[in-house]
Amino acid sequence: MLAIPVLDGDAKYTKKSHIYRTPAQRIWVVILPAAATCLTDVWFQTAILSSAIGYDFVLAIANVSGAFLDGFFAEWESGGAVPNGSKTETLHLISEDMRASFLSTYTSWAGMVGVAASIAHSRSSFLIGLGYIIVSILCSFVAVQLGSDFAKYIASSAPITNTSYQFAKKAHHILHRFMVLLILYIIASYIYLDRGGTQNLIDGKNLVIASTAWNQLSLSILFAVCGAYAGNKVADDIAPKIFQGSMLPMGTLICNALFGLLGLSLNCMRLSDQSWEDSLLLRAFALNFCGAASLFARHASDNRQLYYGNTKGGVRLAGINITANILFATLLFWVSLEIEILLNPEATNKKSGRVVRKLLKILERQREGQNTSNVG
């Protein structure tokens, strides 16, 4: 049992960062992203293949539901929601890891941009893709507030005293059982793949690792774990030092812009050689690493904190933050759409993709100039 300080009645129910962890419990930063990857890459993909719903709809549901969960766990993490039993104490203990590890993997800001480009290309409408982005961001703003309200609804309203920690020991036991269930769930996902639940990828010449379903899932989990860590590291430690004193959450903005741009790497490589599409390493980096490192759910919570955190300028700051994210997303969406058009051999609009085509020609000329100078 932890040493418990006596708190004032008006104090928040808080914990120091990770003081509840034993060395064995640090495995949460691996287990939670792995579980989220199994959910999105195995079971969601199976649902898409066996039904009429598309990936665009599934990703939108994942992002909005992830925003709801982020608002829910944010209240337990901040102390806004007070545990009233061992189960709610469990929510309090795991809240930080759920937001940083599970939800950053479960949702994807970079994926939202890529899907918007695919929709716009398939429907031949820039506005439809842009509308997909705007609706996703606005719906997440509403969802994160609903999640926060739900956490407060099931939480205790009693004054906070030192007896509020009496549920910690049983909560630890619940966390241990939950960890075992998640490990069994991950194993079950591998077994499902081994029985032919999903199709293996086609072999390609740019493959370093054999293209099998197990290898694909293993790499996806590895890159998702690294991506979740990298995204939160940039947002929490690196970006705040660069943008000191900013009223906006620049860490989240930088993560979304940076990793959203890197998420275009797969399609960029396909412009030079279509066989790159079958590279497990490149797919895992572009989809899983960049998807987990971009912080969609965190962006939604940032908007809520700005909206309610400043009584005078909260609405203005939240509006600026939403607008900035939409502008970043629109820019990346436009570039991604240009690439999608170039990748489509049946594209008939000669004006489409002209910007990316010019950039490719410039790079090709530079490469030719370097080769000529080397020969000389």
Model pLDDT for residues 249-302, shown as the tens digit of each residue: 888 989 999 999 999 988 888 888 777 777 888 999 999 999 999 999 998 898
Q: What is the mean pLDDT of the chain?
A: 80
Beta carbons within 10 angstroms of residue 23's beta carbon: 6
121-130, 139-148, 349-358: range with lowest mean pLDDT: 349-358
End-to-end Cα spacing for the chain: 74
Q: Check residue 310 and give its pLDDT.
A: 64
User: Is residue 374's pLDDT more than 90?
Assistant: no
Determine the pLDDT at residue 223.
96
What residue type is assigned to position 54 of the chain? G
pLDDT of residue 341: 83
pLDDT above 90 for 104: yes
18: CB partners within 8 A, 6+ apart:
96
Instruction: Please give the pLDDT value at position 54.
Output: 80
pLDDT at 52 (0 to 100) = 67
- Confidence (pLDDT) at 364: 56
Handedness of CA 53, 58, 59, 60 (dihedral sign): positive
Q: Confidence band (pLDDT; 50, 70, 90) for 82?
A: confident
Which residues, in sequence order, are bridge partners of residue 156? 82
DSSP assignment of 269-305 equals: HHHH-GGGGG-HHHHIIIIIIHHHHS-HHHHHHHHHH
pLDDT (0 to 100) of residue 345: 57
Report how far residue 328's alpha carbon sits from residue 323's, in angstroms, rounded to the nearest whole number. 9
Q: Which tokens belong to 142?
A: 């509403």
- Sequence length of the chain is 376
C-beta separation of 62 from 40 below 8 A: yes
Q: In percent, how much of the chain has pLDDT > 90?
A: 35
The closest of 176, 157, 140 to 31, measured between CA atoms, is 176
pLDDT of amino acid 202: 47
Highest mean pLDDT among 144-158, 179-193, 359-373: 179-193
Residues 6 or more apart whose CB falls under 8 angstroms from that of 336 comprise 113, 114, 116, 117, 264, 267
Could you read off the pLDDT of 178-225 as tens digits, one per residue? 999 999 999 999 998 877 544 444 445 555 667 788 888 999 999 999
| Residue reference for tokens 């919570």 | 301
What gap in Å lies between CA 92 and CA 172, rounded to an integer?
Answer: 11
- Write down the pLDDT at residue 24: 54
- State how far the Cα of 11 lies from the Cα of 55, in Å rounded to an integer: 44
How far apart, in Å, are the Cα atoms of 348 and each of 116, 124, 128, 153, 341?
Answer: 20, 11, 20, 55, 9
Task: Judge whether residue 133 has pLDDT over 90.
Answer: yes
With 80 as the cut, is the pLDDT of residue 114 above it?
Answer: yes
Query: Does position 12 have pLDDT exceeding 50, yes or no?
Result: no
pLDDT at position 367 is 55
Whether 100 and 289 have beta carbons less than 8 Å apart is answered as: no
The two most distant CA atoms of the chain are separated, in Å, by: 81
Q: What is the pLDDT of residue 373?
A: 57
Give the Cα separation of 103 and 98 in Å (integer). Answer: 6
Rounded CA gap, 104 and 197, in Å? Answer: 26
User: How do residues 58-79 score in pLDDT, each as one tens digit?
Assistant: 889 999 999 999 999 999 998 8
Query: Which residue is listed with tokens 């240009």?
Result: 338
Residue in 224, 280, 179, 287 with CA at minimum distance from that of residue 37: 224
| Cα gap 180→201, rounded to integer Å | 30
DSSP SS3 for 209: coil
Which is more confident, 80 or 349? 80
> Measuring CA to CA, which residue among 74, 130, 123 is closest to residue 98?
74
Give per-residue pLDDT as tens, 18-59: 444 555 557 899 999 999 999 999 998 887 766 667 888 888
pLDDT number for residue 15:
45
- Comparing CA positions, the residue from 99, 82, 98, 97 lying closest to residue 167 is 82
Q: What CA–CA distance (Å, rounded) separates 211 from 279?
A: 8
